[in-house]
Amino acid sequence: MLSTLRNAWRVPDIRKKLIFTVLMLLVVRLGAAIPVPFMNKDIISSIFNSSQGGILQFLDMMGGGTFSSYSIFAANIYPYITASIIIQLLTIAIPKLEELAKGGEEGKKKINRYTRYGAIVLAAVQASGYTFGLFRQALETTNIMQTIIVILSMVAGTAFLMWIGELISERGIGNGISLLIFIGIISRLPSDIINWIRLVSIGQMSAITLILFGVVLLAIIVFVVALQEGERRIPVQYAKRVVGRKMYGGQSTHIPIKVLMAGVIPVIFSSSLLALPQTLALFSQGGVTQWIEKYLTPSGNVGIWIYSILNILLIVFFTYFYTAVQFNTVEYSKNLQQHGGFIPGIRPGRPTSDYLNKVVNRVVFVGGISLAILATLPTVMSKVFDMNINFGGTAIIIVVGVALETMKQIESQLLMRHYKGFLK
């Protein structure tokens, strides 16, 4: 990894993209320190201090600490992610959206526009829930215009994050939205480590427990890397054909079926959906919030198991869903047949499509279940060992997965530059 970064830094074009990406992420972290106006920060701090875990800490972890400081990025990028989930699921149900999704670059632009509109609406709903629900005691507005400014500040923060994410994807290195989540998560890691060390030093946490938890986290990182890099290779043979006086084909290759074609997207989508009912609970106080905290969050004795089961099911579902979107076995079979390719022992056409579908389903099942278990294991362990762990399994998988995907993009950029050099 270090040698790849060193080689990338020597290429002026890639160096500019790396610098641009780092500067954009720095802007995001600076923006996270800008508070929302007309909100009493002392009251917000007292609400967090009295909560002692639960919904608030979970949402703060998902937001990278912007929730507890109630900055303009308090709603974070998750309204955009939720909107993209809704739009992509609607493309299956609504024929017009499906046509747009298959309509090339112009169709994708329209889909992205609808996603942005949906994200703005969800951000406004989320900002209203925070301001008029949980933190209504901290609201210090004297007229309707000041109240509108509070909501608009948070909606503008989400819109700004969407813009930064798209800029990084277009002009920088890596997926912009994933990197925004990545930087938010790792920003909490140093304070968590310091807190664990402090708890061990004062005797509130066993050193053996901390070491055991560290070993589990290291094992999860190793397994995530193995899952990301693992693939099933299906052999492909191309038939020989004569065109004029030349003979083409006859070579052997393979189809790489990745264990995790969807990457960390299933984990991000699952965590976003599981945070949705907790966000909606902030509209009201009392029984509804207590019920959701007890049954739908990792802080509840019953909720830890319900949350874990739902997390596993959603991760497996989105793994299958995104793999089906990315790898269409019918289209792949047709393209293979048109170019004279075939899988040894399998007839071209429908049998090839069925075989590919069977292999993909088996590989994706293993990858989805493994990913779901790895995402849930630290959450369950933190409850069993009674440890206040903000940096859970979902966060680890997102951080490792985004880092791997970004490194692969850097490597592909380097490879493109080498090919250009050979062509010259």
Enter the tokens of residue 144: 């309707």
pLDDT at 226: 85
Mean pLDDT across the stretch 16-36? Answer: 92
Q: Would you state the CATH architecture of domain 1-188?
A: Orthogonal Bundle (1.10)
pLDDT tens-digit readout, 273-330: 887 776 666 666 566 767 777 777 766 677 778 888 888 899 999 899 888 878 888 8
Strands (E), 60-188: none
- 392: helix, strand or coil: coil
Q: Is the pLDDT of residue 334 over 60?
A: yes
Strands 231-238 and 252-258: antiparallel
pLDDT at 156: 95
- Split at pLDDT 50, 70, 90, the class of 19 is very high
Higher-confidence residue of 18 and 261: namely 18
Q: Is the pTM of this model over 0.95?
A: no
Q: Is the pLDDT of residue 146 over 60?
A: yes
- Split at pLDDT 50, 70, 90, the class of 152 is very high
Mean pLDDT across the stretch 366-391? Answer: 73
**Distance from C-alpha of 93 to C-alpha of 327, rounded to nearest angstrom:** 20
**Distance set, CA 96 to CA 93, 107, 241 (Å):** 9, 10, 42
Contact 36, 154 (CB under 8 A): yes
**Distance from C-alpha of 18 to C-alpha of 9, rounded to nearest angstrom:** 8
pLDDT at 160: 96
pLDDT at 420: 47
Length of the chain: 424
pLDDT at 195: 81
**Distance from C-alpha of 241 to C-alpha of 59, rounded to nearest angstrom:** 60
Percent of the chain, pLDDT > 70? 86
Q: Is the pLDDT of residue 422 over 50?
A: no
- Look at residues 138, 187, 178, 180 and name the one whose alpha carbon lies nearest to residue 161: 180
- Look at residues 234, 272, 227, 271 and name the one whose alpha carbon lies nearest to residue 256: 234
**Distance from C-alpha of 7 to C-alpha of 417, rounded to nearest angstrom:** 11
Mean pLDDT across the stretch 176-185? Answer: 88
pLDDT at 348: 86
Mean pLDDT across the stretch 117-142? Answer: 87
pLDDT at 385: 62
Q: Is the pLDDT of residue 395 over 70?
A: yes
CATH number of 206-389: 1.10.3370.10
pLDDT tens-digit readout, 104-122: 788 888 889 999 999 999 9
For residue 238, which phi and psi values (nearest 5 degrees)?
Answer: -105, 130
**Distance set, CA 111 to CA 97, 107, 328 (Å):** 8, 6, 20
Enter the tokens of residue 38: 């007309």
Torsion of CA 325, 327, 328, 332, to 10 degrees: 160
Q: Is the pLDDT of residue 21 over 70?
A: yes
**Distance set, CA 191 to CA 52, 185, 198 (Å):** 17, 11, 10
pLDDT tens-digit readout, 37-96: 999 888 888 877 765 555 666 667 767 778 888 899 988 888 998 898 888 888 878 888
For residue 77, which phi and psi values (nearest 5 degrees)?
Answer: -90, -5
Contact 69, 32 (CB under 8 A): yes
pLDDT at 344: 87
Q: Greatest CA separation found in the chain?
A: 86
Higher-confidence residue of 392 and 16: namely 16
pLDDT tens-digit readout, 181-222: 889 888 877 877 888 788 888 887 778 877 887 887 788 788
Query: If you average pLDDT over every residue of the chain, what do you get?
Result: 82
Q: Is the pLDDT of residue 339 over 80?
A: no
**Distance from C-alpha of 378 to C-alpha of 388, rounded to nearest angstrom:** 11
Mean pLDDT across the stretch 162-180? Answer: 91
- Look at residues 315, 296, 314 and name the one whose alpha carbon lies nearest to residue 306: 296
| Residues carrying CATH 1.10.3370.10, the chain | 1-188, 206-389
pLDDT at 424: 42
